[in-house]
Structure 1
Amino acid sequence: MKSLWLILSKPRYFGVAWVFTSINIWFGTWAIYIPTVKDKLDIDKADLGIALFCLSLGVFTIFPVASKIINKLGVGKASWYGVIFASVTAMLPLMASNYYLLMLALYLFGASNGFIDIAINTLVTEIEKEDKQNFMSAAHGFFSLGGILVGLGSFLIPVIGNPTLHMGITVVLVFGINLYLKKHYIHVVAAPVEKEPFSLKLFKPLLLLGIIGFVSFGSEGAIIDWSALYLKEMTTAPELLIGAGFLAFSTTMTLGRFLGDGISAKIGPIKIVGLGAFIAAIGFVLVLTQNTTWSIIGFAFNGLGFSVIVPELFRIGGNVKGVDSSQGVAFIAGSGYIGFLLGPVILGFIAESASLNYSFILLLFLALMVLGITFFLGRRGR
């Protein structure tokens, strides 16, 4: 909890953490209005799927150039410009008057989200280096808190009665806080790195970290998308408890991120990733009992395990010897987003052709694979 107190007591850290919160508030507010936009534009599910793919396309388009832009501007300024970009583009999908404008709006919104994600994780990495303080995990905890704020804000939907107005109010309030706090981080620039020429030796740790990112993001996406259906179909949970798995997962995810920095400082980033994978694997074993109570407890273990993996990956990726922090973070983010987007789809095919239970067996083996990779990385000293 030391890192949480650090964020809450010092504007230098809170300003950065609030950007994480902002990202999830903007994205989450858009997400709750997806059905409304579908009905407003009179599009079917297939058309909606293509539009949402444009959002993903925007994310991936920005990844190859993000690190160059961040290094040119300075990571503090890049993060602030990312906040401005995301604020503006968050309004566009709900303002789209036709399907083609919606696709364009989501492409730009995706690009802004991809850029700010890389910039802000790089900024945390650089501040940690400069101040010798760990707060990456707690900062990601503030991202989770953004989702909680969106959930609370959803109660205002019938009161406001207008999606664009709701998003507009949200953007103004969130941006105003960012405007006030930007002075605490805008001056930060990345420390110079003695770059090494490309080699397999240099790329290997990044590749392994990318695999862990793919698995971790993909597993998170799978649990978000499939936990309710698993409880309904595989454990025959009553309707009241169908959403309990996701709630347990989200709660322990937030808690774990607030505790992760202190544990990481004691045992090191590689070991905490391994510990997280081990806890997640235990969670999948409990989920696979197909008992409602044990499965819900299993999803809680999943949240606790995965909570520390993603923040630590960004921390490790931003500190790979001979690689710019922004390039390392961009590689991790790119690998992770591919997993987040493809993971649930792949598991859906497995569930359709065999059983949802087999999908979660695969997730168990993948968690154990991550545990094995951490042993290799630990031996190699990154």
Structure 2
Amino acid sequence: MKSLRLILSNAKYFAPAWVFSSINILIGTWILYIPYIKGKFDLNDAQIGFALFFTALGLLISIPFVAIINKKIGVGKSTKIGIILLAIFYNFPLLAPSYIALCTALLCVGFLSGFTSISLNALTSHIEKNEEQNFMSAAHGFFSLGGFIGAGIGSLFISQFSNPSIHMLGISVFIILTTFFLAKNYEKISGSEKEKTNHNATFFSSIKPLLVISIIAFIIMFNEGAVEHWSNLFLFDVIKVSESKAGFGFILFSLTMTIGRFLGDGFSHRIGSKKIILYSSSIAFIAYLCIISSSFYFSVLGFGLLGFGLSVIVPEVFRIAGKTKGIETSFAISIVSGIGFVGFLVGPVILGAISNWSNLVMSYVFLSVLIIIAFLLALFGLKKKV
């Protein structure tokens, strides 16, 4: 909890952590109004899915540009500009007059989401190295907290807004004002002051150290995306619980993931990134054994353990990427997060295909096998001290 106290007691650390929250506050608020968008344009599920695909496409398109822009204006200024533009552009999907305009707006939102997230992770990594303080995991915990604020609190007040655009505008103004107030703590950070690139190395030899952690990021975010979309259906279809209980798994998963990320930095400081990835993936594998036990209580417990297990791995992967020698921090994180986000996007789709071919239990067996692969990659592919 040292990193959480550090964030809450020092604006230097709270400011970037608040950007993590801000991103998910916007996402959580937008998610509340997807049914409204569906009704507004009379869309079926396939059309909604296709529209949301443009968010993912925009995110992927942003990846090659982030490192270039970060290098020109700095990671601090990129983060500030990114979150402000993201807050503005999140209003456009609700204001879109047509389906084509909706897809275009979501493409822009996706681009800015990717740009802001990658710049922010590069900024956090830079502050960690310069200040010799671990807070990457706790900062990601604030992302989870932001989702609760956006969707949780927003759902309590949604009935107060007859026009969804007013609600989103209010959230956007709040995010922009807090950003202007807090950004002075990080906007002057360039992120390249102490970065040294090995000019004698080839491109492929430079990114070789990133390949293992990129695959680990892909696997873990694949799992996160799959569980987010399929946990409710697993309890409903396999365990045969009522609809009112089907959400228990994901609720506990989200709660333990948030707690795990708040605790993760302390463990990382004591035992190092490699060990924490090994221990966490072991917990995740045990969690899957509980989930597929076909017992309601064991399955819900499994989802809770899974939240703990997966919670700190992605922050640790970003931390390792940011410390990779001979490569710019923003570029390293762009590569790792880009590959990771691909996993997050395709995870639900592949899990659905496996379930359709066999059954949902087999889909979760497949996820547990991926966790074993991540464990082996960390065991044999990562240096002892990372």
Question: TM over 0.5, yes or no?
Answer: yes
Q: Does 1:214 align with 2:218?
A: yes
Tell me if the contact between 1:218 and 1:342 (Cα under 8 Å) persists in the aligned partners: yes
DSSP 3-state at the match of 1:310: helix
Tell me if the contact between 2:228 and 2:250 (Cα under 8 Å) persists in the aligned partners: yes
Q: Does 1:239 align with 2:243?
A: yes
TM-score, normalised to structure 1's length? 0.97
Question: Partner residue of 2:70?
Answer: 70
Q: Deviations over 1:85-139 (max 9, x none)?
A: 1111111111101111101100100001000000000000000111100000000
DSSP 3-state at the match of 1:192: coil
TM-score, normalised to structure 2's length? 0.96
- More deviation, 191-200/293-302: 191-200
**TM-fit CA distance, 1:380:** 6.4
Question: Partner residue of 2:23?
Answer: 23
Partners of 1:42 and 1:229 in 2: how far apart?
25
Partners of 1:380 and 1:131 in 2: how far apart?
23
Question: Partner residue of 1:261?
Answer: 265
DSSP 3-state at the match of 1:239: coil
**TM-fit CA distance, 1:175:** 1.6
**TM-fit CA distance, 1:78:** 0.8
Q: Does 1:127 align with 2:127?
A: yes
**TM-fit CA distance, 1:381:** 5.3
Tell me if the contact between 1:317 and 1:332 (Cα under 8 Å) persists in the aligned partners: yes
Tell me if the contact between 1:125 and 1:315 (Cα under 8 Å) persists in the aligned partners: yes
Question: Partner residue of 1:166?
Answer: 167
Question: Partner residue of 2:93?
Answer: 93
Tell me if the contact between 1:232 and 1:238 (Cα under 8 Å) persists in the aligned partners: yes
DSSP 3-state at the match of 1:241: coil
**Sequence identity of aligned pairs in percent?**
42
Tell me if the contact between 1:62 and 1:114 (Cα under 8 Å) persists in the aligned partners: yes
What is the aligned length? 382
Tell me if the contact between 2:84 and 2:175 (Cα under 8 Å) persists in the aligned partners: no
Q: Does 1:317 align with 2:316?
A: no
Instruction: Sort the Cα spacing of 1:256 and 1:380 in 2 relative to 1 into closer, same or farther, 3 A.
Output: closer
Q: Which runs of 5+ in 2 are unaligned?
A: none
Question: Partner residue of 2:184?
Answer: 183
Tell me if the contact between 1:138 and 1:261 (Cα under 8 Å) persists in the aligned partners: yes
Query: Which residue type is aligned with residue 153 of structure 2?
Result: L
Partners of 1:283 and 1:319 in 2: how far apart?
30
Question: Partner residue of 2:354?
Answer: 350
Query: Which residue type is aligned with residue 158 of structure 1?
Result: S
1:27-42 equivalences in 2 (<5 Å): 27-42=27-42
DSSP 3-state at the match of 2:22: helix
1:137-152 equivalences in 2 (<5 Å): 137-150=137-150, 151-152=152-153
Query: Which residue type is aligned with residue 133 of structure 1?
Result: Q
Say which of 286, 289, 292 aligns to 2:290: 286
Partners of 2:53 and 2:344 in 1: how far apart?
13
Tell me if the contact between 1:271 and 1:378 (Cα under 8 Å) persists in the aligned partners: no
Say which of 338, 343, 362 aligns to 1:339: 343
Tell me if the contact between 1:96 and 1:102 (Cα under 8 Å) persists in the aligned partners: yes
- More deviation, 175-184/371-380: 371-380
Partners of 1:71 and 1:199 in 2: how far apart?
18
Partners of 2:368 and 2:252 in 1: how far apart?
18
DSSP 3-state at the match of 2:93: helix
Query: Which residue type is aligned with residue 332 of structure 2?
Result: G
